[in-house]
Copies of this chain bind each other. A is one copy, B any other.
Amino acid sequence: MSLPHAILTALMEKPSSGLELTRRFDRSIGYFWSATHQQIYRELGRLEEAGLIRALPSEVPVRGQKKQYEVLDAGSAELARWVGESQDPKAIRDPLLLRIRAAAVVGPHGLAAELRRHLELHRRQLAVYEAIEERDFPPGRDSDEDRLRRLVLHGGTGLETFWLRWLEEALAEVEDMT
C-alpha cells in the first residue's frame, strides 16, 4: 500500500490537483513509485473518503474544473506512522535476470542486442538523476530534509550504476559465446 503514501508525501510537499500530481509523479516521485493519472484520481477519492486529505473549498468541484487537495492532520499522522512501520523488502523481480536464465536453456539468441539497448537506457536514466542532483542539491550545507531527499536520489544513481556494471559484464559474457 505505497501509492496512498506516495500521494500524501507529494501533497505535503505542495497541495495540488490531480493533474499536477500526475505531472510531478512523472518527473520526481515517480522515479521511485510511478503512477498513472487514473490511479491517482482513484486514490485521491479514497484518501478524501478516509478523511486524510480534503479538497480546498475555493473552487467549484465540477468535472473539468481543477480541484486542489491538501493533507489533513490525520493524513500527516498516517504518513508519519508509515515511515516507521515494519515492512520487509520486496524480493527481486526482474524480467531481464529471468531472461538470462531462460537463455541458459534455449540459447542466448537476440540477447546481446537487448543488453546493449538496456545499457543505453540505464546510461540515460543515470544522466537524468545526475542532472537532478546537480540542479537540486548543489554542494553546500544541507538541511535534514535535503539530506534525506539526496539519499533517495543517491539510491537511484546507485541502482543505475549497478545495472550498468552488471550489463557490461553480461554483454561481455554473451558476446564471448556467439
Interface residues in chain A, defined as those with a beta carbon under 8 Å from any beta carbon in chain B: 2, 5-6, 8-9, 12-13, 29-34, 76, 79-80, 82-111, 113-114, 117-118, 121-122, 144-149, 151-152, 154-156, 158-159, 162-163, 165-166, 169-170, 173-174, 177
Contact = CB atoms under 8 A, between A and B. Distances in A.
A144 to B, nearest CB: 5
A170 to B, nearest CB: 6
28 contacts: A6-B98, A9-B98, A12-B106, A29-B98, A31-B92, A32-B93, A32-B97, A33-B94, A34-B93, A76-B106, A79-B102, A79-B105, A79-B106, A83-B106, A84-B109, A84-B111, A84-B114, A87-B114, A89-B122, A89-B163, A97-B152, A104-B144, A104-B146, A104-B149, A108-B144, A144-B177, A151-B173, A158-B165
A5 B171 CA distance: 22
Q: Main SS of the interface on chain A?
A: helix
Given A87-B99, A104-B152, A154-B169, 6 more contacts: A29-B101, A83-B108, A86-B117, A97-B156, A104-B146, A108-B148
Contacts of A144: 104, 108, 177
Nearest to A150: B173
A130 to B, nearest CB: 15
A29 B166 CA distance: 19
